[in-house]
Every structure is written in C-alpha cells, then in structure tokens.
Structure 1
Amino acid sequence: MLDLTKLAGQIPGISQHLRLEAAASRQRLELGQQLLLQALLQQEELVKRQQQWRERMTFTAATPIEPLDTRIDLNSPPESHTIFATDGSQIAPSHHEIAYCYLINVGRVMLHYGQSLHPLLDSLPEVFYRPEDLYVSRQWGIRTEEWMGHRRTVSEVIMLAEMACRWVNPPGSHFDIPNLAMVDGSLIYWFLEGMPGEARDRILPPILDAWNQLRSVNVPLLGYLSASRSLEALNFLRLQACPHEMPDCATHCASIIDKFPCQIVDPLRDAAFWTTLLQPGQRSPLFRSSARILDLYGDHRIYFCYVHVGTEVARIEMPQWVAENSSLLNQALSLTLAQVHKGFGYPVALAEAHNQAVVRGGDRARFFALLEQQMIRVGLRNVGTSYKEARKRGSIS
C-alpha cells in the first residue's frame, strides 16, 4: 500500500526539477530548429557523408528522402473505405498455475465506412502447451516468456494479412475500395538484433511473407507509434553538429565516455521536435530508417514520417513499397488521420483491436477453470495451483 503522507515531502523537489527541465527543453528546441535550417542548406552533402561513414558512426541516423523543410497537408479521407487492425494479448506461463502453458489472444477488427456493412470485431485465442512450443527457445538462451511475445507479434501480422486479403481478393467486389491495415507499434523489430539466426528465421520470414500478401492486394500497411521516444530523425542533425570534417566517431570520439560533442540537443526526441514545426493535419518529410536489422528486410525496408494528428505528433512507419507509392502513401496517411479523429486522439481500429484482445482477470480465471475441468475429466489427480499462488489470491489485505 502506498503511503501518500510519506510521499508528499518529495513532491516539491519533483516540481522544481520539472520547471528547470522545461526551460532547458525550450533551449534545445531552438537549437534544433537552427540545426535544421543549417542542414537544409547542405542536405545532399550530409546524406553522402552518412552513407560513406555509416560503419564508423556510433549512432543510428535516419536518411531524409525529402527536403527537411517539407510540410505536407494530408488529404481528407474518401467517404467509403475499410480499415483492418490487429492487436494481441497473452497469459504468460507460470509454474504456480495448474498447468505450464501460455495463451495468445489476437483481437481482429475490420471497420467499413460508407458501405452499409457490419464490422468485424472478434478475437482468436491459441494455447501453446507442447514441449516444442514451451522450451524450443531455451536452446538459444531466450526465456519462454520472451519467446511468447515474439510469437504473438508473428500471429498479429499473419492474422492481419489473412483478414485483409480474404476481404479484398476476388470474387469479392471490394478490391477498389480504399483500405488500410494498421498495427500498434513499430515495424522495426529491434528485438531481432543479437538474436541467433536460427531463432530469427522463425520470426522474421513469416512476417515478411504476410507483408508480401498485403502488397499483392495493394493494401497499405502502417505502424502507429503514439508518444514515440525515437530520435532517429534528430540524429541526422548530429551530422551537421559534428565538429569534425568527417563523422568518423570510431576515430575522433572513441575515448569519450560522456556526452558526444554532436549531442547538443540531447535528450530531445523527434516527436517533441516536430511538434513545434507541424500544424494539425500535416506530415513531416519522409525518412528511411538506417537500423541495421533492416538489412534483413529485403525490399521491405522501413520508412517513417511524423504526423500532427491534432492531439500529438505520432510516428508513422511503413514498408518501402508503401513509401515509394505516393497515392498509396497519401491514402494510408489520410485514413490514419481520420481514424485518430474518430477515436478522439488514438486510432479507433487499434483501440478496438486492443479491447478485443485484452485478457482480463476474469478471463484468466475462467481459462484455468476450464483447463482444470478437462484435466480432471481425463483422470489427472492433485490438480491445483501452488500454495504460494493460492495464498496470494486469498490475501487478508
């Protein structure tokens, strides 16, 4: 139980710290805007330096595909369109439960606008209990709970592609209706970095196959990141701030253990920076991510931009085939903006997919009760939770 009386004495110190930090943040924003104007004048040269010295740089900087002063007003969405979205939740395995297994529940949403069609809102659960599901990851040093999260990511993308392709493929008559497939979070799967190749081959190829299916039916895919902490775009400005003629970090800054001389706007984040430059309904220039894991994505390399959706500046990611098709990109971004407006600050399709997927306490209890009944039915004895779990559930507090 939290003792608010003991906590109250610490609040004034927090308030003072936040006041000082707000003033420092304003200074960083002004400095960042100056760097942007300077980088705009030699953007092409900075891109060349980045490509030439990438292997010697100690930070990941995105590459601008459009002029840094690009501000584009997004179009109004077409009256008739369809949105597809998935999100997932899980019940993690526990040795204190009646059986060691885990469950992945993927919420599916298909919303039709201007078509007089019923929406799809449901979820598809799957239980993993076989030894090859529970213990396969341990040979690579990956915990079962962590592997479960990776499997959930794969399931979300596969079900998204299956739902979208089933809808737009002939013999249906929906192929020409503008549409959009959305996921919550990044399309750059950072967790793949450092993962053994054999483990990575069980995660990434199924995802890329699903993306290929979406591309084959011309359904654009976007990843929506609210409150993004990324600084990939601002990292490009570090090339401008570098005091050396060439950004050879490995040579010039190898001995520095504190802040590098080019980190003059750190810890400013991309979203906070673009908030000062974009008007509601506008997007930033497109950037191509330089994350090294994307070298494995083939022609699905990830691009992104920042969009002022009215309530915040969100980072929107898309595969290369969406970014390079201007009509598909504009369609996807306009539909995303409409989704945010309908959801009062967050895409309504993603919110509903989450609500369909989430496993609440009562759901968990009913799942294990159902499992217990089945175990007893087949003749298993001494079925029940551990004494520790039973005692926690019966706490006197």
Structure 2
Amino acid sequence: MLDLAKLARQLPGISQHLQHEAGAGRQRLERAAQLQLAADARRAELRAVQQEWRDRLFFTAAEPTEPLGTRVPVVPPPTAHSVFATDGSQISPSHHEIAYCYLINIGRVMLHYGQNLFPLLDSLPEVFYRPEDLNESRQWGIRTEEWLGYRRTVSEAQALAEMACRWVNPPGAHPGPSLALLDGSLVFWFLESLPSGARDRLLIPILSAWEQLRAARIPLAGYLSASRSSEALNFLRLQACPYPVPNCSQHCSDASDRLPCQRVHPLRDATFWQELLQPGERGPLWRSSARVLDWYDERSRVYFCYLHVGTEIARVDLPAWVAEDAKLLDRTLGIVLAQVHKGFGYPVALAEAHNQAVVRGGDRARFFALLEQQMIRAGLQNVGTSYKEARKRGSIA
C-alpha cells in the first residue's frame, strides 16, 4: 500500500527541481537556436564532414536533406482516402499458469473517408505453444519474454501489409489515396544488439511487408508521440565541436562526464521544434544515420520530420521511397495530421488499433479459463496454476 503522507513530504523537492530545470531549459533552447543558424550556413560542409567521420563519432546524428530553418505548411488530405493501422498486445508466458504459452493479439483498423464504406475494426489473436516457438530464441541467448516483443513487431507489419494490400488490389476496384500507419519508429533500434541470425529472422519479414506496401503504392508512416529522440539536434554537435575534425575516438575518448559538443544536452528534438513550428507545419526532412539502418535495403532507409499537430510536436518516420516523392510525402503528412485532428490529439486509427489489440485482465482470465476447459476435455490431469499464483490471487491481506 502506498503511504501518501510520507510521499507528500517529498513532493516539494520535485517542484523545486522542475522549476530549476525550466530555467536551464530556456538557456539550452537559446544555445540550440544559435547553433542552428551557424550550422545552416555550413550545412553542405557539415554533411560532408559527417559522412567522412561517421565511423569515429560517439553519437548518432541525422543528416538534413533540407535547410534547417524549413517550415512547410501541411496540405489538407484528399476528401476521399483510406487509413490502415495495426497495433499489438500480448500475454507473456508464465510457469505459474496452467500452461506455458504466449499469445500475440494484433488489432486491425481500416477507416474510409468520403467513400461511404464501412470501417474494419477487429483483432487477430495467435497462440504460440509448440516447443519450436517457445525455445526458438534460446539459440541466440534471448529470453522468451524479450523475443515475444520482437515477434509482435513482425506481426504488426505483416498484418498491416496484408490488410492494406488486400483492400487496394481487389479485381476491378479503384480505391482512393491511402496510408498505412504504425505506432512508433520505423528504426528498430533493438536489432543492433541481436546476433545476425536473430536479426534476419525479424528484419527480413518486416522489410518484405514494407515492400508489399511499396509495390501497391500505399505510403507507410510511423507515428511517434512524445518522442525523446535527439537525432536531429545531434547534427548541431558537429557545429559545436571545438576540434578541427570530429574525431571523437581521438579527442574525447577520455571524457569522463560530458563531451564538449554537448552544449544543449539533454534538450530533445521535439522540445526544440516546439519553439520553431506553428500548428500544421512540418520542419526539415532528415535522413536517419542510425547504424541499424545499414541492414535495411536502400528503398527502406528511414527519413523523418517533426510535425506540429496542434497538441504536440510529433515525429513521423517514413521509408525512403515515400520521403523522396514530394507529392507522396505531402499527401502522407496531410492524412497523418487529419488523423490527429479526428483523434483529438492522437491518430484515431492508431488509437482504435490499440483498443482492438489490448488484452485486459478479464480477457487474460477468460483465455486461461478457456484453455483450462480444453485441457480437461483432452483428459489432462492436475490442471491448475502454481500455489504461488493461486495464493496471490486469493490473498487476504
């Protein structure tokens, strides 16, 4: 039980800390604005330096493909368009349950605007219980619970491509513009720490699903709310570097606390662009330089921009084939912004996909009750949870 009386005595300290941070944050914003102006004047030079010294940098800096002061009003979407979205949830395996298995539930949403068509809102559950599924990740030293989250990411991409491509490619159909939306970044940072076999097992089907969308001319976007990325601001560190060349391994290998180029740390991209963009505007387009993208094919390299959606600054990730097509980019961002407005601050398709996917406590209990019935019908004996789990559920404390 939480002791609120004891907790209340600690809250004044939090308030004082936040007040101090607000003043320091304003100073960081001013320094970042100065660095941005200087870096914009040297943008071509800094890009060349970044490409030459990328392997010696201690940080990941995105590469701007437009002037740093770019502010582009987002055009409204076509009246008739469709939006596809998926999101996932899961039931993790537990040795204390009646059976060691896990479940992935993918929520699917298809919304049509200006077309007088019914929407689709449903979910696709899949249970994994075979030894080859439960033990697949152990060959790479990855815990089953961790692998479950990775598998869910793959399932979300595959379900999105299957749903969207099936809709836009029926015989004799001529659907209007569309957009496929995923919740989160298209840069899968978790792949960086995985062995090559595990990485291929996950990345290849994801990129295959993206390729299906590209072939069907359905733009793909990843939407990040409350992004904590500093990938764009890290480009300003090249301007702030006090050395002739940004050779971090040579000049800063013995830095104990903070590198001399971290003049605006811990300022985030979204906080900085909050000061520059007006509602309905996007900032410059960036090409991500994350090393994990070296395993992507060139058409799937990830670009991103920051979009002022009215309630916040959102990061929108795009594959290269969308970002490099000006008309497709404008249409994609227009539909994203319209989705946020319809969802009162968050894309309505993603919110509904989450609602379809989420597995609540009652759903979990019903799943295991159904599984228990099936096990008893199959003649299995001693079906039940562990004593620990049974005692926790029936606690008298």
TM-score normalised by structure 1 residue count: 0.99
- Deviation of 1:242 after TM superposition, in Å, equals 0.3
SS of the equivalent of 1:232 reads coil
Supply the AA of the counterpart residue of 2:11.
I
Cα distance in 2 for partners of 1:394, 1:276 equals 53
Is residue 2:211 matched to residue 1:217? no
Query: Tell me, what secondary structure is at the counterpart of 1:257?
Result: coil
**Counterparts of 2:242 and 2:13 in 1: how far apart (Å)?**
37
Residue in 2 that maps onto 1:285? 284
Using the alignment, how far apart are the partners of 1:172 and 1:341 within structure 2? Answer: 33
- Give 1:193's aligned residue: 192
Matches of 2:107 and 2:182, distance apart in 1: 11
Q: 1:157, 1:277 → 2: CA distance?
A: 33
Give unpaired runs (5+ residues) of structure 1.
none
| Paired residues for 1:89-128 under 5 Å | 89-128=89-128
State how far apart, in whole Å, the 2-side matches of 1:77 and 1:329 are.
11
Q: Name 2:364's counterpart in structure 1.
A: 364
Deviation, structure 1 residue 172: 4.3
**Seq. identity, %:** 71
SS of the residue aligned with 1:365? helix
- Aligned 8 A contact 1:167 1:174 in 2: no
Matches within 5 A, 1:2-151: 2-151=2-151
TM-score normalised by the chain length of structure 2: 0.99
Task: Return the letter of the residue paired with 1:51.
Answer: Q
**Structure 1 residues 98-154: Cα deviation after superposition (integer angstroms, max 9, x where no partner):** 000000000000000011100000000000000010011011110000111111000
SS for the counterpart of 2:232 is: helix
3-state SS in 1 of match to 2:273 = helix
SS in 2 for 1:374: helix
Give the whole-Å Cα distance in 1 for the aligned partners of 2:117 and 2:226: 33
Separation in structure 2 between the aligned mates of residue 194 and residue 367 of structure 1, nearest angstrom: 33
Letter in 1 for 2:127: V
The residue number in structure 2 matching 1:184 is: 183
Letter in 1 for 2:258: K
Aligned length: 396
Aligned-partner SS, 1:67 = coil
2:223 alignment partner, SS class: strand
Q: Deviations over 1:172-201 (max 9, x none)?
A: 4234x1110000001111110121111111
How many angstroms apart in 2 are the aligned matches of 1:98 and 1:7?
Answer: 39
For residue 247 of structure 1, report the CA deviation from its aligned partner: 0.4
Partner of 1:343: 343
| 1:252-291 paired onto structure 2 within 5 Å | 252-291=251-290
Q: State the alpha-carbon separation in 2 of the partners of residues 169 and 139 from structure 1.
A: 39
Q: Offset of 1:354 from its aligned partner?
A: 0.1
Look up the equivalent residue of 1:320 and give its one-letter code.
A
Aligned to 2:154: 154
Aligned pairs for 1:267-346 (under 5 A) are 267-299=266-298, 300-346=300-346
**Equivalent-residue separation in structure 2 for 1:360 and 1:179 (angstroms):** 31
Q: CA deviation at 1:396?
A: 2.1
- What residue is the counterpart of 1:164 in the other structure? 164
Q: Where does structure 2 lack aligned partners over 5 or more consecutive residues?
A: none
Deviations 1:230-258 (A, max 9, x none): 00000000000000111010101011121
1:394 CA displacement: 1.1
> In the aligned structure 2, how far is the partner of 1:35 from the partner of 1:288?
19
Classify the secondary structure of the residue corresponding to 1:202: helix
Q: Retained in 2: the 8 A contact 1:64–1:288? A: yes
Q: Which runs of 4+ in 1 moved over 4 A?
A: none
> What SS is found at the alignment partner of 1:20?
helix
> What is the CA distance between 1:31 and its match in structure 2?
0.6
- Structure 1 residue 161 displacement after superposition: 0.2
Per-residue deviation at 1:207?
0.3
Alignment of 1:242 onto 2:241:
yes
- Match in the other structure for 1:390: 390
